[in-house]
Amino acid sequence: MRSSHILALALAVGGVGLSMLPDAQAQSRRAVREQAEAAMVLTGQIHIGTEGQVESFQLDKRDQVDEAIARFLEGAVQTWRFEPVRVDGRAVPARTPVSIRLGGKSMPDGKQQITLLAASFEEYKDDAVDSVTKLQMRAPAYPEDVYRAGGRGDVLLLVQVGRDGKVMDVATEQVNLRVVGTEAQMRSIREKLSRASMAAARKWTFKTPTAGEFKDAPSWTLRVPIHFALHDERERYGRWDAYIPGPRQQAPWRADKALSADANADLLPQGGVFMADAARQGPRLLTPLGG
């Protein structure tokens, strides 16, 4: 879900972690700014009342978040209203994790415009029996030449799993880079991170559903986020991160699916696997993000 809810702050978006590859200096700063997007992903827990109102919101690692941004986010979340969570037809109090993406843009007057862009209530549960879960998933190897060049990025995979829990097919949905280079350099890094991720994914195995509406499906498509980061990369929670978004593309076996329906896919928590064709998990938000 998206909103144009905005906060103007006298904060800088400097130091957002977007490094330059060799030979990229030829690109103008303006060209880099036009490509890059500054974002901050924050997480927390929401307690929902029986009428769908937000009873409380706890922002994770609040001491690492700028006070003005924390107060802005807390105020916005308190205005949210959810569809009541029901158990056996009766509305009950509920708790949900949330991942929220903020967008930041520097304005001509030196202030920063903060926009509440998206929220996800997805949660991976390793013991779930009504969805595909992890069995063996070895992390992909960091391509050596990309690592030496300081290349960093996030890969979003689509993985087709058969009824035996083995991978039938795999495709890369998107690669977002946290490094700037020439068009050829960035294309090369995207391809190498994509190939490394898909090579690892082909060896993964999963536990298939034994209950629920998807248990008899002939196959399942999973969305899996993979993060490539350098060992000396500092903890960036509560800080702005810049990235160069890559093109979105659909897996061949899902050619009839609309990419626009997956707009919040890059908010999925790291370390989980998520069924791409199932309804979004978690409570349903009824109000706009800005209340």
Question: Which pTM value belongs to this model?
Answer: 0.79
Residue 21's pLDDT is what?
66
Highest mean pLDDT among 54-58, 224-228, 232-236: 54-58
Residues 6 or more apart whose CB falls under 8 angstroms from that of 160 comprise 167, 168, 169, 170, 219, 220, 221, 222, 251, 253
Highest mean pLDDT among 113-117, 188-192, 268-272: 188-192
Q: Report residue 200's pLDDT band, with 50, 70 and 90 as the boundaries.
A: very high
Q: What angle do CA 92, 83, 7 make, to 5 degrees?
A: 120
Say how far apart CA 16 and CA 18 lie, in whole Å. 6
Say how far apart CA 11 and CA 106 lie, in whole Å. 8
Q: Which CATH number fits domain 133-275: 3.90.1300.10, 3.30.465.10, 3.30.2420.10, 3.40.50.11060?
A: 3.30.2420.10
Q: What is the pLDDT of residues 72-98, one digit of tens each?
A: 999 999 999 999 999 999 999 999 999
Q: Report residue 114's pLDDT band, with 50, 70 and 90 as the boundaries.
A: confident
Q: What percentage of the chain has pLDDT greater than the value 90?
A: 49
Residues 6 or more apart whose CB falls under 8 angstroms from that of 147 comprise 230
96 or 279, greater pLDDT: 96
Q: Are 177 and 17 in contact (CB under 8 A)?
A: no
Residues of the chain with CATH 3.30.2420.10: 133-275
Q: Report residue 232's pLDDT band, with 50, 70 and 90 as the boundaries.
A: low
Q: What is the pLDDT of residues 140-195, one digit of tens each?
A: 999 999 998 888 899 999 999 999 999 999 999 999 988 888 888 889 999 999 99
Q: Are 110 and 10 in contact (CB under 8 A)?
A: yes
Is pLDDT of 263 > 60? no
235 or 250, greater pLDDT: 250
Residue 48's pLDDT is what?
97
If DSSP codes are grouped into helix, strand and coil, which group holds residue 146?
Answer: helix
Residue 182's pLDDT is what?
80
- Strand ordering across the sheet containing 219-228: 167-177, 153-162, 219-228, 274-275
Phi, psi of 285 (to 5 degrees): -80, 125
Residue 9's pLDDT is what?
44
Q: Report residue 210's pLDDT band, with 50, 70 and 90 as the boundaries.
A: very high
The pLDDT of 52-66, averaged and rounded, is 96
267 or 243, greater pLDDT: 243
Is pLDDT of 13 > 50? no
